[in-house]
Amino acid sequence: MKALLLLVTCSTLFLTACNDTETGTELVTPPQQQEVELPKTPDVETTPDPIQPPESEKPPLPPVDTPPVLPPKAEPKPDPVPEKQPDQNQNKQPDEDTKQQPDQNQDKQPDENTTQQPEPPVIAPDPTPVPVPPSAFTLTAPTSLSGKTFLFQWQTSQNANEYTLCRKNTTATDNCDVLSSGLTEANKQVELNSLLSTSETYFVVANNKDGSQKSNEVSIEPSALLNAIGLLKASNTDSNDNYGNAVAVSNDGSTIAVSAFKESGIVNDPTANSAALSGAVYVYRKTNGIWNEVAYLKAPNADDKDEFGYAIALSGDGNTLAVSTINEASSATGIDGNQFDNLAPASGAVYLYVNSGTSWQSQAYIKSSNSNLVDSFGFSVSLDSDGTTLLVGAPGESSSAQSINGDETDNTGSLSGAAYVFELQNNQWTQTAYLKSTNSYKLDSFGYDVALSEDGLTAAVGSPGEDSNATSVNGDEMDNSSDNSGAAYVFVHNGTTWVQDSYLKALNSDSEDQFGHSVDVNSDGTVIAIGAFNEASDSEINGNESGNSASGAGAAYLFYKSQAGWQQEDYIKAVNSDASDHFGSDVQLSSNGKALVVGAPNEASSSQGLDGDVQLNDASTAGAVYLFTDVEGTWQQTEYIKSSNTDAGDGFGSAIAISGDGNTLIVGAKDEASDGSDFNDNSSAGSGAAYIY
């Protein structure tokens, strides 16, 4: 760094007059009000002194309207610095009018480490930009493409960078369940992951860096919902096959099984019809929103009138399938016995299949330990979540035993019924419990329906023929004065063995109600739903239970388990309850116990799709299904569900299944009559169908 030499040519720093060394001209310091023109030396680069005097030693500022007085610049010299001249005015007091502060660094070499750079010029900031959020825009009603896939379209929002498609959920952030985000186009195809519903609403949010803009809210129109209902027919549809007699679905809704228990095909030729009423089961998996048949199952010992597929169950993971054939006639007992002797008509059997990843393979052939003719073993079946525990009902079993694992060889209790627990241990199925009620009696039909919790530790067993007149939990079970009032029983595994936990009766129990005709239990065994398809009240939800003015209308009941035990909490009726509807023929709970589906196969409205006219009674036994939802502790009917091709006599709702997540519903209509090519032709009576919502 070069040092700058300031040549002092005057005898004092407090200048009054001096001579220009170049021109000899006398310079007079002007008054402060006058501006001094500095002499310029051409072709010589000058650098201002970077050392500034301390603030306290700076000269006073001139008046605001007067430019500052600048001293003349000394000419820079390239020669070596001369010796410093003594300050001759060191002790002289300057005149106040002409006093200037001396430059203390006049002859001092600036230190490179302390040199200060000139401050950059101050640049005025740009004006603050005005925010420009997305403009208002309109979302149109979605259109149905295929199944539950819909096309959402909206106007372009000016200034928007991206869009988010939402299903309205008041418990979610910004009321938005995100269906798709980061969208740059004004449309999106979406497969809905929830039940088809008229009450769901949707909206779009346009976004940019300055803000967001919400569109209007829309619902799916009834016509679009009608087109979205999936309709399954057997690949070998034929009259009177009763496809849809039983249905099952995995917890995630990706696997479906449907039975046709009167189908007549054979293993290698489904269209042969050479094994009358032998029965079949069809398995479907969903890929890219499309349902594909992946298996056509027949019993390995298929025989005429076996009715393979009378009852079916899928494990929660969708990889194990239980199929019963109540008229199977082998006299075998236990696991994998002789299937072919046909010495015990209608003894019944259960077949287990597992998904290998590429196909469904037979895993086990199961008979009860006391198999006997007309036991109807397999009348009902249930699997736990991982397919390692199986519960089987046999309402025709006739032992008079009244305890778990009692004497199963005594056949003096005709049609009292039984249930059996099987467990997969070390890759081998084993019977681990023989369940009988503590008040087992003739014609009770214990085991008519069964249900397992997902953990396999709680079992519910229906007994619609039970005759006690008790009207409370664990009431007097020995009074048989109320024929076919019905009961349900709860069994739990205590870590060592199975024990009867509770004896359930309806608060309005009455003769012929057949409480226990259907049962289901939620995932952790704390909620049980029970159907009484012949109950006679014309009441509404949690209304007056005592009336008997609508014979056969039907009802459903919800029991909850607390530390005090089981207790009836809710009494469920259809909004259009009518005599002979048989509401409660089937009941199904979601895993969390917050959604309940109830079938009424004799309901008579001709309406189609969702939330149609409930007051019509112009299509006898067309059938209907009702969805109820627990809304903050209060049960409400949220959907009235009909088929997409409603017709009298279809029996829609005789079989139902809801996925554990509550997002997929399967409904069977075993007497539906279309031939599969035209869903409204009714040329194939009793062929049956299944519907997906």
pLDDT band at 116 (very low <50, low <70, confident <90, very high): low
- Would you call 42 exposed, middle or buried from its count of C-beta atoms within 10 A (0-12, 13-18, 19+)? exposed
pLDDT band at 111 (very low <50, low <70, confident <90, very high): low
pLDDT digits (tens, 9 = 90+) for 536-549: 999 999 999 988 99
- Establish if 127 belongs to a structural domain: no
Statement to judge: residues 210 and 255 lie in one domain: no
Statement to judge: residues 358 and 459 lie in one domain: yes
Smallest CA-to-CA distance from 237 within 572, 530, 676 is with: 676
Number of H helices, E strands in the chain: 1, 38
Q: Is the pLDDT of residue 508 over 60?
A: yes
Distance CA 617, CA 631 (A): 30
Statement to judge: residues 307 and 379 lie in one domain: yes
Statement to judge: residues 237 and 215 lie in one domain: no
Cβ atoms of 626 and 641 within 8 Å: the answer is yes
Statement to judge: residues 66 and 186 lie in one domain: no
- Establish if 368 belongs to a structural domain: yes
Q: What is the pLDDT of residue 115?
A: 56
pLDDT band at 481 (very low <50, low <70, confident <90, very high): very high
Buried b (16+ CB within 10 A) or exposed e, 515-541: bbbbbbbbbebbbbbbbbbbbbbbbeb
Q: What is the pLDDT of residue 129?
A: 83
Distance CA 492, CA 30 (A): 112
How many domains, in total, are found in the chain? 3
Statement to judge: residues 390 and 517 lie in one domain: yes
Question: pLDDT over 90 for what percent of the chain?
Answer: 79
pLDDT digits (tens, 9 = 90+) for 276-301: 999 999 999 999 889 999 999 999 99
293 beta partners: 284
Q: Is the pLDDT of residue 41 over 60?
A: no
- Establish if 656 belongs to a structural domain: yes
Residue scoring higher pLDDT (595 or 66): 595
Q: Is the pLDDT of residue 101 over 90?
A: no
- Establish if 126 belongs to a structural domain: no
SS3 assignment, position 143: strand
pLDDT digits (tens, 9 = 90+) for 246-279: 999 999 999 999 999 999 999 889 999 999 999 9
Q: What is the DSSP string of 46-87?
A: -----PPPPGGGSPPPPPTTSPPP-PPPPPP--SPPPPPPP-
- 3-state DSSP helix/strand/coil % of the chain, to nearest 5: 0, 35, 65
Mean pLDDT, range 499-515, rounded to an integer: 98
pLDDT band at 84 (very low <50, low <70, confident <90, very high): very low
Mean pLDDT of the chain: 88
Q: Is the pLDDT of residue 237 over 60?
A: yes
Mean pLDDT, range 302-326, rounded to an integer: 98
CB atoms within 10 A of CB 425: 10
Q: What is the pTM of this model?
A: 0.81
- Establish if 314 belongs to a structural domain: yes
SS3 assignment, position 55: helix
Query: How far is residue 608 from each of residues 183, 625, 628, 644, measured CA to CA in Å?
Result: 35, 12, 19, 5
Question: pLDDT over 70 for what percent of the chain?
Answer: 83
Distance CA 498, CA 486 (A): 22
- Establish if 4 belongs to a structural domain: yes
Phi, psi of 63 (to 5 degrees): -55, 155
Q: Which two tokens stand for residue 18?
A: 């001096």
DSSP state of 142: P
Q: Which two tokens stand for residue 687?
A: 């062929």
SS3 assignment, position 658: strand
Statement to judge: residues 484 and 604 lie in one domain: yes
Q: Which domain holds residue 211?
A: 143-224
Cβ atoms of 326 and 378 within 8 Å: the answer is yes
Statement to judge: residues 211 and 279 lie in one domain: no
Decide which of 224, 254, 272 is a domain's last residue: 224
Q: What is the CATH number of the domain that holds 216?
A: 2.60.40.10
Statement to judge: residues 334 and 360 lie in one domain: yes
Q: Which two tokens stand for residue 25?
A: 């001209």
Least confident segment among 30-39, 409-418, 528-537:
30-39
Distance CA 533, CA 580 (A): 9
Statement to judge: residues 525 and 553 lie in one domain: yes
- Establish if 136 belongs to a structural domain: no
Distance CA 673, CA 177 (A): 39
- Establish if 372 belongs to a structural domain: yes
Statement to judge: residues 211 and 290 lie in one domain: no
Statement to judge: residues 213 and 266 lie in one domain: no
DSSP state of 141: P
pLDDT digits (tens, 9 = 90+) for 622-653: 999 999 999 999 999 999 999 999 999 999 99
Q: What is the CATH number of the domain that holds 601?
A: 2.130.10.130
Decide which of 172, 199, 224 is a domain's last residue: 224
Q: Is the pLDDT of residue 195 over 90?
A: yes
pLDDT digits (tens, 9 = 90+) for 576-590: 999 999 999 999 999
Q: Is the pLDDT of residue 28 over 70?
A: no
Radius of gyration from C-alpha coordinates of the chain: 45
Decide which of 224, 246, 279 is a domain's last residue: 224
